[in-house]
Amino acid sequence: MTTTKLRSPNYPAVGLGEAVSLVKKLYQAEKGGMFPPESSAGAWGYKSFSGPVRSKFAALKQYGFIDQKKGQGAKLSGRALTIALRNEASKEYLAALKEAAFEPSLFREFYEGNKFDSSDDTLKHELIVNRRFTDDGAEQFIEAFRSAMTIAQLTKPAIISGQEESQTQDKDDDMLEPPPTKDTITIPIPFSPERIGRLVIPTGMTADDWKRLDRILAAYKPES
């Protein structure tokens, strides 16, 4: 009797935060020109186009950061060049992040189905029972999905790429730095006497909320 190993459906193997870091390193090495996929290994500090490098390269394609036709060289897409060249506070940069977050079809489907606010258990049940994910695959997908939506500032209903809604533009701009309220706590983070960061969090965070915050902060950390 033979058995078939269950595999999860295809989705990006790295979070959007790491993908952005990989794009910037690849731009430093290749700029906007054509390059063989194998060259990405050196740009990312690897010696060969091994399995981990292939997975990262495939993830960049899934986020729409790589343009490549079968059997040909690759190049950074216009979306990737926006990420590499524009200021992170610019509207163009944020728009590129949103487009990348929606590029994986299941990310977009879950967002449009208002599943971001669903519990991890609910999402895991949906993925395993209805989408044929493995247990580990479901957990990795949930983390990647939540990370992408958070980094692209899509944790609340927002404009989806291709849909016009000019009245919400000012609200999108405000989301870049939400003002503190009585329902939030501002935590000062002194990196040095001249560099003080601030973290605004809601009051009454649960243990699960703190775990999710840890995952989100880890997603922003560039690869060493």
Write down the pLDDT at residue 139: 92
Domain check: are 135 and 185 in the same one? no
Of 136, 151, 166, which residue constitutes the final position of a domain? Answer: 151
List, for residues 11-36, the tens digit of each pLDDT value.
888 899 999 999 999 999 999 899 99
End-to-end Cα distance, the chain? 46
DSSP track, 163-187: ---GGGHHHHHHTTSPPP-TTEEEE
Write down the pLDDT at residue 192: 64
Beta-carbon contacts of residue 29 (< 8 Å; ≥ 6 apart): 35, 39, 42, 43
Of 105, 134, 151, which residue constitutes the final position of a domain? Answer: 151
Give the residues of the chain that fall short of pLDDT 50: 1-6, 158-178, 180
Domain check: are 120 and 185 in the same one? no
Of 151, 171, 202, which residue constitutes the final position of a domain? Answer: 151
Domain check: are 142 and 194 in the same one? no
Residue numbers of the domain that contains 137: 16-151
- DSSP structural state of residue 129: I
The answer to whether residue 170 sits within a structural domain is no
Write down the pLDDT at residue 7: 52
The answer to whether residue 11 sits within a structural domain is no
Domain check: are 136 and 32 in the same one? yes
101: β partners: none
Domain check: are 134 and 54 in the same one? yes
Domain check: are 94 and 199 in the same one? no
Domain count, the chain: 2
